[in-house]
Chain A
Amino acid sequence: MPESFPQLSTGAITQYPSSRTIALDAEILKFLDGSEQRWPAAGSDRRRWELKLSNVSEAELCAIEEFFVSQQGRFGHFSFTDPFDGTVYPDCSFEADSLHGQLFDEESAQSTLVIRTNL
């Protein structure tokens, strides 16, 4: 069973503002008479979340970093609960191989993460 993305101390996954992108692509073939033929592009059904953690504690940042390290960046797979609607996506990865964490004091840190679903 894959690991799960860690929650913050409040039980939330992320903070405001955060965004979710649903990507669905289609291949389009246009003909001379203006008609089209369309079909779904293979592997295009993806979800992507940009999590902006703008005010977390150092302990919460450490937990996020520890999870990122355990996943070895975008190499690992884990389950992720969509913070928008609670849907659990069992196969997700970090989109990037790097993670920046800024610590302003012991109770104030910030970081931005991007997570996406895998096929």
Chain B
Amino acid sequence: MTLCYPQLSTGVISQFPLTKTFAYRTVMNELPDGSSIRLFDPDATTVSWELRYSGLSSAERDALSSFFVSTAGPLKSFLFLDPRGNLLKHSDDLTKSVWSVDGLLRVQLENGVMHVTNTAQTASSFQQHVAVPGGYTFCGSAMVRAAAGTAVDVTAFLSTPAGEKSSQFAVGAEWTVVATSIVTDADSNDAAFGLRFPAGAVAEVKNLQLEAQPGHSAYKRTAGVSGRFEETRFDQSSLTFRADGIEDYATTVHLTSRVRLL
């Protein structure tokens, strides 16, 4: 089973404040006239996080401690679901192959907004499957508005091998957030997030997002790289908890992940 960084009892990965660092490597040769020759190193890209926790319960403390032991500190890599990331790939382009789009659902992309038309006689949907661990909390969200003047009933759904959780929204001409959340079964290893439209519906969609937390947050656009980081390691050899009171523990966790761009 793939090791995965644990969520807290509230279903979130981290608390505020949270620091995230992007690091690239560009070899630069500066010439005498001031101009430069640059070579980008795609294999050297990393993303790092500093997660500060406070008010942890003893159970949460033990969960983090056990996880640190299971990875032998910085030795083993694990899956980290970026709390500031979007777990979907190509979040603003339904024409990409990561998206499963029902055959009679017409999608047209324009300036980051997807125009969706259901030409079928029944409900049609699009979805993206993401490999995620079981027993975790996820929230899928999007912004939708009716494109043809009349309100549209849109269903946001999260499905796992065990079943589906959905929420239905009546969407008008204004942009409306549609969201649904789920806690995956312990033996689940896949979740799909998508939207379902009734027959004849015409709508505009943007800001598709899947997050490892109970609620939705600010939209993060993704392309080929999502918020799933499979080669994450602890960037520390020791993990210290400070007891501030009964069932009140604090700690700081440093993580780093290699990012494969190609």
Q: Does A74 contact B (CB under 8 A)?
A: yes
Interface residues of B in 1-51 (CB under 8 A from A): 16-26, 28, 30-36, 38, 40
Q: Does A58 contact B (CB under 8 A)?
A: yes
Main secondary structure of the interface of A (DSSP, over half): mixed
Chain B residues near A46 (CB, 8 Å)? 34
* Inter-subunit contact A75/B26 (CB<8 Å): yes
Partner of B19, one of A43, A97, A100: A100
Q: Is the CB of B20 within 8 A of A72?
A: no
**Which A81-99 residues sit within 8 Å CB-CB of chain B?**
97-99
Q: Which residues of chain A are within 8 angstroms of B36 by Cβ–Cβ distance?
A: 118-119
Residues in A with CB closer than 8 Å to B30 are: 43
Secondary structure of the B contact surface, majority rule: loop
List, in ascending order, chain B residues with CB within 8 A of A7's CB.
none
Interface size class of A (residues with CB under 8 A): 20 to 34
Q: Which residues of chain A are near B28, meaning CB under 8 Å?
A: 74
Residue B84, interface by CB 8 Å = yes
A105 at the binding interface (Cβ < 8 Å): yes
Chain A CB within 10 A, most for which of B18, B24, B25: B24
Taking CB atoms, residues of chain A closer than 8 Å to B220 are: 62, 66
Q: Which of A45, A57, A72, A101 contacts B21 (CB 8 A)?
A: A101
Q: Does B218 contact A (CB under 8 A)?
A: yes
Chain A CB count within 10 A is highest, among B28, B33, B220, for: B220
Query: In the complex, are the beta carbons of B22 and A43 less than 8 A apart?
Result: no
Mask: chain A, 92-116; 1 = CB below 8 Å from B; 0 = not = 0000011111111110000000000
Residues on A with beta carbons closer than 8 Å to the beta carbon of B25: 73, 97
What are 11 residue pairs bridging A and B, where the CB atoms are less than 8 Å apart in the complex?
Answer: A43-B30, A68-B22, A73-B26, A75-B40, A101-B19, A103-B19, A103-B20, A106-B217, A106-B218, A118-B35, A119-B36
Which 7 A/B pairs are nearest by Cβ-Cβ distance? Answer: A43-B34, A73-B24, A119-B34, A58-B218, A98-B23, A59-B218, A75-B26
